[in-house]
Amino acid sequence: MTRHGDSGLVPTHGEKRHMISRRIFARNLLQVKSFTRLFTEGPLRVSQRGEALLNNAQLNKGVAFTREERKELDLDGRLPYAVATLDVQCERAYQQYQSRDAPIHKNTFLQSLKAQNWTLYYGLISRHLKEMIPIIYTPTEAEAISSYSHLFRRSEGLYLSYPDMEDMEKNYLAAIESKEIDLIICTDGGQILGIGDQGVGGIGISTAKAALYTLVLGCRGPTDAHNDIYYPSLIGGIDPSRILPVTLDVGTNNKDLLDDPLYIGWSHERLQGDQYDAFVDKFVNIVKKHNRHSLLHFEDFGNENAQRLLDIYQPKLSLFNDDIQGTGAVTLAAVLAAIGVTKSKLSEQRIICFGAGSAGLGICNQIRDAMMQLESLDRKSANSCFYLIDRHGLLTDHLQQEKKVNKGAEEYVRQDWNGPTGLLDVVKTIKPTILMGVSTQGGAFTEEVIRAMKDSCDRPIIFPLSNPTRLTEVTPQNCLGWTGAALMATGSPFSSVKVNDRSIDIAECNNALIYPGLGFGTIISRSRVLSPGMILAGAQRLANLSAAPENPHAALLPDVEDSPSVNMEIAISVAEKAFDEGVATVPWKKEEVRERAMTARWHPVGMLKSNFLMHPWIVEQ
């Protein structure tokens, strides 16, 4: 690809392209001087008709095709007579959804709906966001991923397998043919949620994260009480046709999968070392070559690779690791909200992080950096506020000598520790104010641990963040039952808990509350990188949107139902920061960010008054 002009906005394609692509490309060229839209704008030209159109999930509108469209597009007789609005279609689909009892069956139903009709899929979920996010994301998606080879029906992204490494570029180009890609979400399946190596099934997390980029951005109505911001009543985010979910199939060390005759990936032990590195490097370079203005989102890579790959590639292209940086940012926001309640400073906290893997280190680094930037602590003093505990106990110099300290955790190693290093002993010794769990060890925060936390301060801050639900280190019911007053946030959704006749809402401290905003802010500003400053700006904006400091009984973070408007605010702060740091490459000004962000969203229906027309269509001859 070559660049056009100074703006660096226009992807060009050396490859032979489809006619539609050339037209979209030409239109983008015309728009580039003012603004490049993040969705395919205006009349949608289609070359397909009849059966082919009904089988194209991106274009299919089902019974929402109007009489004129049916005539024009050879659909007469292929659909029942009545023409329905999207509302009616959603009502019908919701009834079908409700008839499925188990969450995994609801998940499968929604998967097949997506395979048939994107507009209806996104339209339906946006109408039942809170109810359906746990179905398409954590916790249910973990179950779907672990059964991937058994539930498989059809392709849902790009599968790049090691044996086909020679053809990687060709296969990549085929997947993006006739598309403009803003976002590539990639996993190697190494550590999916808390359920470990899932091999090729990892694609499920790429597609789930992709769906949230579309759903969890946009607007739900005037919900932002702090800022009196009004959003129209549609929901929308990143155009799904501009997102590419990818799995890098480098084998698996999951014995169950290797022994399963139905396993659908490359049945081979997981590659490591030079072979693994060469494969990932080839992929990143292909992205850089063909989609250099897109954001590359890394998800659920194994601990041995996640931080290492981030360090290698972050300076080279617009890339981030959600488990490290997204989780760090959302947890920082929750901590800022919590210390707003306890009226204390970041630098006054004594923090235990139980689990020193990708998420644990991402969280500690993010909070440590915030201590340095917001409260001017030097790095050593800031590091000294943390006590990291991993599978062998507290990270001490003894463990370091035994080479049992994860890479990246060296800075937090305690040099001065002589006592026992188990969680309960450390809690009793240091009397922490904050306890975070990212260990994948369900129930690890026992009653004794939680009561010891309560003994150490009046309102302990306790965040069991492991997913899915069964791996939570402590349930809110237990934690609040034992303490009465903990400030909690959890990785997966939990219902509210009654304490002394008061109903306490539990904040969901999940990176899904922030990564869509981090990503969208980067994309709309066409930022060269997603910098630490942009991530901090996003976390601070999220903390500002918390109701907790003013209302000590409110959840620490905004509700998932409000995440569309919340993520839009985050995106705006992130994009503005990109301008401040001089990394934005769009040819417009920082003052325009809000308006640009609002108009750049894709909606499951067109911006037309009639709510069943997706776009006016022009038939390709």
Binding site for ligand PYR (CB under 6 A): 138, 193, 300, 322-323, 467, 510-511
Report the site for ligand NAI in 77-96 (rule: CB under 6 A): none
User: In sequence order, what are the residues at sequence separation of 6 or more whose Cβ sits closer than 8 angstroms to the Cβ of residue 549?
Assistant: 337, 340, 341
User: In sequence order, what are the residues at sequence separation of 6 or more whose Cβ sits closer than 8 angstroms to the Cβ of residue 416?
Assistant: none
Q: Which does residue 366 bind out of ligand NAI, ligand PYR, Mg ion, none, counting CB within 5 to 8 angstroms by kind? A: none
Among 357, 493, 519, 549, binds ligand NAI (CB under 6 A): 357
Among 237, 460, 491, 538, binds ligand NAI (CB under 6 A): 491
Distance of CA 474 to the CA centre of its chain: 23
263 tagged catalytic: no
Among 355, 442, 516, 549, binds ligand NAI (CB under 6 A): 355
> Residue 463's beta-bridge partner residues?
436
Name the helix (H) or strand (E) containing 46: strand 44-46
Q: Does 224 bind Mg ion (CB under 5 A)?
A: no
Q: Nearer to Mg ion by C-beta: 219 or 330?
A: 330
Q: Does 394 bind ligand NAI (CB under 6 A)?
A: no
**Residue 50 to residue 569: CA distance in whole angstroms:** 42
Q: Nearer to ligand PYR by C-beta: 323 or 576?
A: 323
**Residue 481 to residue 231: CA distance in whole angstroms:** 39
Q: Does 188 bind Mg ion (CB under 5 A)?
A: no
Q: At its nearest, how many Å lie between ligand PYR and the CB of residue 193? A: 4
DSSP secondary structure string for all residues of 225-249 = TTTTB---S---BS-GGGEEEEEEE
Q: Nearer to ligand NAI by C-beta: 491 or 516?
A: 491
Instruction: Determine the 3-state secondary structure of 88 from DSSP.
Output: helix
Q: How far apart are the first and last CA of the chain?
A: 29
Q: Convert residues 159-198 into a mask of x (bound to ligand NAI by CB under 6 A) and - (unbound).
A: --------------------------------x-xx----
**Residue 72 to residue 507: CA distance in whole angstroms:** 50
**Residue 464 to residue 246: CA distance in whole angstroms:** 29
Catalytic residue among 121, 137, 172, 276: 137
**Residue 238 to residue 161: CA distance in whole angstroms:** 27
Report the site for ligand NAI in 231-270 (rule: CB under 6 A): none
Q: Does 130 bind ligand NAI (CB under 6 A)?
A: no
Name the helix (H) or strand (E) containing 393: strand 393-394
Q: At its nearest, how many Å lie between ligand NAI and the CB of residue 490? A: 8
Q: Which does residue 389 bind out of ligand NAI, ligand PYR, Mg ion, none, counting CB within 5 to 8 angstroms by kind? A: ligand NAI
Q: With contacts defined by CB under 6 A, how many residues of the chain interact with ligand NAI? A: 30
Q: Which does residue 358 bind out of ligand PYR, ligand NAI, Mg ion, none, counting CB within 5 to 8 angstroms by kind? A: ligand NAI
Q: At its nearest, how many Å lie between Mg ion and the CB of residue 294? A: 20
**Residue 157 to residue 208: CA distance in whole angstroms:** 11
Residue at shortest CB range from ligand NAI: 357
Q: Nearer to ligand PYR by C-beta: 92 or 308?
A: 308
Instruction: Determine the 3-state secondary structure of 270 from DSSP.
Output: coil
Per the CB < 8 A criterion, the answer to whether 59 and 46 are in contact is yes
DSSP annotation of 506: P
DSSP annotation of 325: I
- Annotated binding site for a divalent metal cation, which residues? 299-300, 323
Task: Report whether the peptide linkage leading into residue 222 is cis, meaning its omega lies within 30 degrees of zero.
Answer: no
User: In sequence order, what are the residues at sequence separation of 6 or more whose Cβ sits closer than 8 angstroms to the Cβ of residue 167?
Assistant: none
Among 203, 509, 568, 571, binds ligand NAI (CB under 6 A): 509
- Annotated binding site for (S)-malate, which residues? 467, 510
Instruction: Determine the 3-state secondary structure of 538 from DSSP.
Output: helix
Q: Does 140 bind ligand NAI (CB under 6 A)?
A: no
Q: At its nearest, how many Å lie between ligand PYR and the CB of residue 134? A: 12
137 tagged catalytic: yes
Detail the DSSP E strand segments found in 425-569: 434-437, 461-464, 487-490, 497-499, 502-504, 507-508
**Residue 86 to residue 16: CA distance in whole angstroms:** 36
Residue at shortest CB range from ligand PYR: 467
Q: Does 462 bind ligand NAI (CB under 6 A)?
A: no
Report the site for ligand NAI in 279-338 (rule: CB under 6 A): 303, 323, 327, 330
Q: At its nearest, how many Å lie between ligand NAI and the CB of residue 412? A: 13
Instruction: Determine the 3-state secondary structure of 129 from DSSP.
Output: helix
Q: At its nearest, how many Å lie between ligand NAI and the CB of residue 505? A: 17
Catalytic residue among 114, 179, 209, 577: 209
> Residue 246's beta-bridge partner residues?
158, 186
Q: At its nearest, how many Å lie between ligand PYR and the CB of residue 65? A: 38
Q: Does 385 bind ligand NAI (CB under 6 A)?
A: no
Q: At its nearest, how many Å lie between ligand PYR and the CB of residue 301? A: 10
| Cα→Cα distances 185→111, 159, 210, Å | 18, 12, 7
Q: In the structure encoding, which two tokens stand for residue 437, read together?
A: 């769990």
Among 69, 249, 323, 390, binds Mg ion (CB under 5 A): 323
Distance of CA 597 to the CA centre of its chain: 18
**Beta strand 158-161 with 243-249: parallel, antiparallel or unpaired?**
parallel
- Annotated binding site, which residues? 299-300, 323, 467, 510
Report the site for Mg ion in 282-321 (rule: CB under 5 A): 300
Binding site for Mg ion (CB under 5 A): 300, 323
Please list the active-site residues.
137, 209
Binding region for ligand NAI (CB under 6 A):
191, 193-194, 303, 323, 327, 330, 354-360, 389-391, 406, 438-441, 465-467, 471, 491, 509-511
